[in-house]
C-alpha cells in the first residue's frame, strides 16, 4: 500500500529530487508559495518552496526499494526513526495541495513588514530608532511612523535601512 513520507533534500535540490523520483515512477510533492521579500532594498516576489529542503514522497516501500529513494539525486534522507520511516497523514498533503497558493500562506512566508508592525531603523540619520511600518512607498522605500519630540512624524525610508522587530 502507498503512503506519504517526508524526504529531507540537499540544499536547493527539491526540484532535482522530484525530477529523479518521477523518472523512477515515484510521485512526489512540495508546496510552493509566492513570497515577497526585500532584496537589495527592492521589494521582489519569488516563487519558493513553503518548506525548504523538504519533499513529500508517495510510494509503497514493499514495491519500491528504500535504498533507491536514499540514493536518488537530491535526497539526503527520509525522515524517520532508525530504519523505519514516519508516515505523513494523507489529509495533510491534500490540504496543502488545496491551499497551496492561498493568501493566508502567502502572508505567512512573506518577509515584508505588515502595517502596524514595529521596525528598527539601522542606517541613516534615524539609526537606532524604533518606528511603526505604515505602507510601501514604491519598490525601494516605505513610510514609517516615528515618534520624535512627543510628536508622530511619517517619513519615507529606504527598505534596506530598517528591519522588522520580532514580536515577543
- How would you write the pLDDT of the chain (168 residues) with one tens digit per residue? 899 999 999 999 999 999 999 999 999 998 888 887 777 878 888 888 889 999 999 999 888 888 888 889 999 998 988 778 899 999 988 888 877 766 665 565 566 788 888 999 998 888 889 999 988 887 788 889 998 888 888 988 888 888 888 654
Which pLDDT value is given to residue 168?
44
- Do residues 45 and 123 both lie within one domain? no
Contacts of 136 (CB under 8 A, 6+ apart): 43, 112, 142, 143
- Do residues 102 and 131 both lie within one domain? no
- Do residues 52 and 89 both lie within one domain? yes
- Do residues 126 and 51 both lie within one domain? no
Give start and end residues of each alpha helix (H) in 3-102: 14-23, 66-70, 90-98
**Quick one: CA dihedral 82, 84, 89, 93, positive or negative?**
positive
Q: What is the CATH number of the domain that holds 155?
A: 2.30.30.30
- Do residues 74 and 156 both lie within one domain? no
Q: How many residues does the chain have?
A: 168
Instruction: Name the nearest CA neighbour of 43 among 91, 103, 110.
Output: 110
All three cell numbers of 71, joined, read 540514493
Task: Write out the H or E segment, with its range, that includes residue 85.
Answer: strand 84-85
Q: How many domains does the chain have?
A: 2
| Strand duo 80-81 + 130-137: pairing | unpaired
- Do residues 100 and 138 both lie within one domain? no
In whole angstroms, give the CA distance from residue 82 to residue 86. 10
- Do residues 77 and 98 both lie within one domain? yes
Query: Does residue 30 contact residue 14 with C-beta atoms inside 8 Å?
Result: yes
Neighbouring C-beta atoms of residue 85, cutoff 10 Å: 20
- Do residues 89 and 13 both lie within one domain? yes
- Do residues 58 and 127 both lie within one domain? no
Q: What is the CATH number of the domain that holds 36?
A: 3.30.70.940
- Do residues 72 and 18 both lie within one domain? yes
In whole angstroms, give the CA distance from residue 26 to residue 6. 13
State the residue range of the domain holding 130.
118-164
Which pLDDT value is given to residue 4?
94
- Do residues 78 and 20 both lie within one domain? yes
Amino acid at each position: 500500500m502507498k503512503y506519504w513520507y517526508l524526504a529531507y533534500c540537499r540544499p536547493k535540490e527539491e526540484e532535482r529530487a522530484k525530477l529523479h523520483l518521477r523518472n523512477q515512477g515515484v510521485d512526489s510533492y512540495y508546496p510552493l508559495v509566492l513570497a515577497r521579500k526585500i532584496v537589495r532594498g527592492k521589494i521582489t516576489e519569488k516563487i519558493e518552496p513553503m518548506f525548504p529542503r523538504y519533499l513529500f514522497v508517495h510510494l509503497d516501500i514493499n514495491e519500491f526499494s528504500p535504498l533507491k529513494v536514499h540514493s536518488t539525486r537530491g535526497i539526503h534522507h527520509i525522515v524517520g526513526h532508525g530504519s523505519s520511516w514516519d508516515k505523513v497523514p494523507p489529509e495533510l498533503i491534500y490540504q496543502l495541495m488545496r491551499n497551496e497558493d492561498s493568501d493566508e500562506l502567502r502572508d505567512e512566508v512573506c518577509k515584508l513588514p505588515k502595517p502596524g508592525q514595529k521596525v528598527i531603523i539601522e542606517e541613516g540619520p534615524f539609526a537606532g530608532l524604533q518606528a511603526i511600518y505604515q505602507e510601501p512607498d514604491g519598490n525601494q522605500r516605505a513610510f514609517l511612523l516615528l515618534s520624535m519630540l512627543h510628536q508622530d512624524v511619517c517619513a519615507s525610508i529606504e527598505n534596506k535601512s530598517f528591519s522588522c522587530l520580532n514580536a515577543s
